[in-house]
Chain A
Amino acid sequence: MESRLQKIFFALSFLALALIIAAAWQANTPTWKTYQHNFLQLEAQGEPNAVTKAAVLATPPEVHQVMLTGLQRVDRCTTCHLGAEDPTMKDAPEPFRYHANLGPHISSKFGCTICHGGQGLATDKEGAHGKVDFWPNPLLSKDYIRASCGRCHKEGEVPGVPELTEGRRLFETQGCRGCHKLNGVGGSIGPDLTAEGANHRAPEWLERHFLSPNAVSSGSAMPNFHFTTEQARDLTYYMLSLTSEEMGTYYSSVRLIPGPEYGRQLFVEKNCIACHMVGGIGAKTGPDLLGVTKRHSTEWLDEQLVNPELVYPGSSMPAYDLEPNARKALLAYLDSATPDDVQLILSHKTRALSPEDVAIEAGKQDFARFGCVGCHGTELQGGVANPNAQGGEVPSLLHVSDDYTKDEVIAIIRNGRAPPLDNASGPTPPLYMPSWKHVLSDEDIHRIADYLWSKQQKKAKDSW
């Protein structure tokens, strides 16, 4: 018995040794070493003589990695994709092929996964391409990679990616903010989209969702906006680009140069002149902006653009969802704005604006910007389906003055309202009027009401 036990002990000891050797062997033969070996052979083919060939082949295998602190990631993709930066590898087979058209996006500064997705830390193919369990961010297919441009290029036109520019424009004009928050501005009927890209939904899912929300997400309250397939793709691009990741200064500063030209564009786009004047030219609701950059510090002005209420409690200026660089650009423009230039901007408007018109115009802006158009329509026509609400759809606002006084409408905007039911025992309609009193100032609400009243159409019998 004792000698048998001793034999068992030695056998188990050898087994343990064998297991350690097996584990070491397993650790020592990862697939990336095979790729590196193949790559060296490929490289050696191009060498003129045996000595240099041998030198190339003698390169020790190692993990290549790019530490990207500014992007909070480490990419090891070039451990296998060895020819990505070598133009002589432009016809090489994958994974060694040269990556053309990178422009300024060199891999030592950007890595790979910020655009392509995938798991930069991994050193095996399946893991690195992210097609494994528990890695929510697999490689983006060719059709959607360019959506990643929007992760740094957060504003202005993104060269070569019209989808993003159009997606953003659709988001701001179709009233998406009526239900969805983005960077803190918007309604709360739908999910907050500030970091929608970080939810890693499949692009195909998003696209189908925009074409028909209920087809992929049953019971969704989101109305069908009847987008075209192109528009659905544009919006998908925009959604994929929305992440709340902190990008390092290097990356956020390449978004665009915050020059006065872009600032002027924003000044026109955001219609600052609807409330403000420059050197006496413009509207009188807000303060004159001539020389404003001399009167206040940059920080003060920046805060004013982010959160006006904080600077001046009760300020009637709305909070604009502007990127830091957009704010810089706007301030750069204000620094150089002249009354003549503003006159030029105003002259492009169809007619000179009276103070009343200015208020109505501001109301219209609010109506679009805060997403009222999402349900009530860009022309106040309503008509978005809302099952079991009276009439089965969101009401048109063109005749609202027939049934309500202005004060009643203001109260509804302030406090919100559940729609009256078609069938009292039926299900709750998915859409309802949210309360806006915490989002909009009283001034804004009054302006929206003014805008509505300016658009009222009398019923046929009244006009008769």
Chain B
Amino acid sequence: MHLIRDIWQSIVRRDPLSTDKGKSELVFLNVWLHIHPAKVKKENLKFRHTFYLGFITFFLFLILVTTGIALMCYYRPFPPQAYQDMKDLQFVVFMGPFLRNMHRWAAHGMVVCVFLHMCRVFYTGSYKKPRQFNWVVGVFLLLLTLGLSFTGYLLPWDQLAYWAITVGTNIGSYAPFIGGQLRELLLGGHSVGEAALIRFYVLHVAVLPAAVILLTIVHFWRVRKDGGLSRPVWKLKPQKAEALVTIGAPATTAALQATAASSTKTYGLMEVVTGKPIFETVTPEEEEDTVFSYPYAFVREAVALMATVTTIMTMSLFLNAPLEELANPAKTPNPAKAPWYFLGLQELVSHSALLGGVVAPALMVIALLAIPYLDRNPSRRPGDRKWALWLFTFFVIANLALIVLGTFFRGPGWALVPPWVHVVGGAE
């Protein structure tokens, strides 16, 4: 019995969870959990403050990694075997369709959730000081997510994949001077072929996931180091509003005092550092507003995780991921469309290649990156930032409208065809 107890205690060294010390130790003695604070602010657990979109995005990424690794066991990244492997997944691999469906729907879901997460962060003003840089990291994560989705789009090697990537990379080639070379570098040639497939595969399963993981670590770390999640504006107490709305240092400018060392306690590095912290701190009077992460935060995260997983599973049970004919470079579908999240760009390109394909997307990315530095207004209250909200809303609606237009209202020859009109004929 002693042996079993010894082994258990060698693994779990915390106090019982019934004690506050145990609850804290569960978090900070565990390498996986210690990215959480031991205690969190009550308001930050509110569903309607964050909608858990960041978590959901992260969980979708976990689903993608898991199903993606399983899919790698069945996939050979060269044509035409790549396509045959899709067919084998569909017809002979046990639960193959379910696996592929999960990967597909989780991927689309991740693009959607990353975007919604960004909107949430904007509307709550959570990109403001001291969180500017984490917003920038987030924009890069958005771009990486699009890159992952785009590279994965080619892998089935069907007509849908082939032409979406052909159109998508053509949009990129409109960039002056370097566009053509960039496209060639990405494709390993002048058109989508074997070389492009292996490059997209390497990007999809190694380079981009590694980049996402690295940036996600930074993103999560910065959430903690910037003082945790931003508090919902409506929860700010009136007397503290001024100090907290202008997030940053606590009201006092005095240097933090170092407490006298006690011989009954050991000290971590952060406890002996003196000086003003640059991030939000919990003042003693706010202590009453916090709760232990265990179980309050963890149970909510667990619910969000299971809700995400079951949603994706339910979709995968009933909706099959599309698979068209084998890629055929000689047979262009009309219209050939980029993946849906680039259809707004394709719509712009159809009006002006340079403006729509280069200037607009470049401005969009630069604007997104610059938002926290251009927006000098320190207030997070919606009433104080009407202009910013209107501008961002316009940006979101314009993007969505263009995507809807490109997806549903564009027919052969990129002519305006409402979705309820059936075009007879087509290719022949």
Hey, which bits of chain A sit against chain B, CB under 8 A? 2, 5-6, 8-9, 12-13, 15-16, 19-20, 22-24, 26-28, 63, 74, 76, 119, 121-124, 127, 133-136, 217
Contacts and interface: CB of A to CB of B under 8 A. Distances in A.
B324 A134 contact: yes
Report, nearest first, the 6 A-B pairs whose CB atoms are least far apart. Answer: A12-B306, A19-B313, A121-B87, A134-B324, A23-B98, A27-B95
A8 B92 contact: no
Contacts of A136: 325
Contacts of A63: 92
Contact of A20 (B91, B96, B313): B313
B323 interface: yes
Contacts of A19: 310, 313-314, 317
Interface stretch (B170-178, B221-229, B257-265, B293-301): B293-301
B376 to A, nearest CB: 40
Given A15-B306, A76-B92, 14 more contacts: A5-B299, A5-B300, A9-B302, A9-B306, A16-B306, A19-B314, A23-B95, A23-B98, A27-B96, A27-B98, A121-B88, A122-B87, A134-B323, A136-B325
Contacts of B324: 133-134
Contacts of B94: 27-28
Interface in B213-235: none
A217 B94 CA distance: 45
B303 A74 contact: no
A300 B25 CA distance: 84
B90 to A, nearest CB: 8
Contacts of B309: 12, 16
A246 to B, nearest CB: 12
Nearest to A15: B310
A76 B95 contact: no
Given A19-B317, A134-B324, A8 B91 contact: no
B98 A135 contact: no
Contacts of A27: 94-98
Contact of B159 (A22, A24, A74, A134): A134
Nearest to A10: B306
B210 interface: no
A329 to B, nearest CB: 33
Interface string B306-334: 11011001101100000111000000000
A217 B325 CA distance: 24
B347 interface: no
B399 interface: no
B280 interface: no
A135 B428 CA distance: 17
B150 to A, nearest CB: 21
Nearest to A195: B330
30 contacts: A2-B296, A5-B300, A5-B303, A8-B303, A9-B306, A12-B303, A12-B306, A13-B306, A15-B310, A16-B306, A16-B309, A16-B313, A19-B310, A19-B314, A19-B317, A26-B98, A27-B96, A27-B97, A28-B94, A63-B92, A76-B91, A76-B92, A119-B87, A121-B88, A122-B87, A123-B91, A127-B91, A134-B158, A134-B323, A134-B324
B319 to A, nearest CB: 13
B325 A135 contact: yes
Contacts of A8: 303
Contacts of A74: 84
Contacts of A119: 87
B158 A2 contact: no
Contacts of B313: 16, 19-20, 23
Nearest to B93: A27
Given A12-B306, A16-B309, A121-B87, A24 B299 contact: no
Nearest to B88: A121
Contacts of B317: 19, 22-23, 26
A177 to B, nearest CB: 21
B307 A12 contact: yes
Contacts of B299: 2, 5-6, 9
A274 B158 CA distance: 51
B309 to A, nearest CB: 5
A133 B325 CA distance: 9
Contacts of B303: 5, 8-9, 12
Nearest to A22: B317
Contacts of B88: 121
Given A5-B299, A16-B310, A123 B95 contact: no
Contacts of B98: 23, 26-27
Nearest to B325: A134
Nearest to B322: A134
A16 B310 CA distance: 5
Contacts of A122: 87, 90-91
B102 to A, nearest CB: 9
A74 B300 CA distance: 49
B295 A2 contact: yes
Which of A24, A76, A121 lies at the interface centre, i.e. has the most chain B CB atoms within 10 A of its CB? Answer: A121
B115 to A, nearest CB: 25
B210 to A, nearest CB: 28
Interface string B75-108: 0000000001001101110111110000000000
Contact of A12 (B91, B92, B310, B325): B310
B95 A24 contact: yes
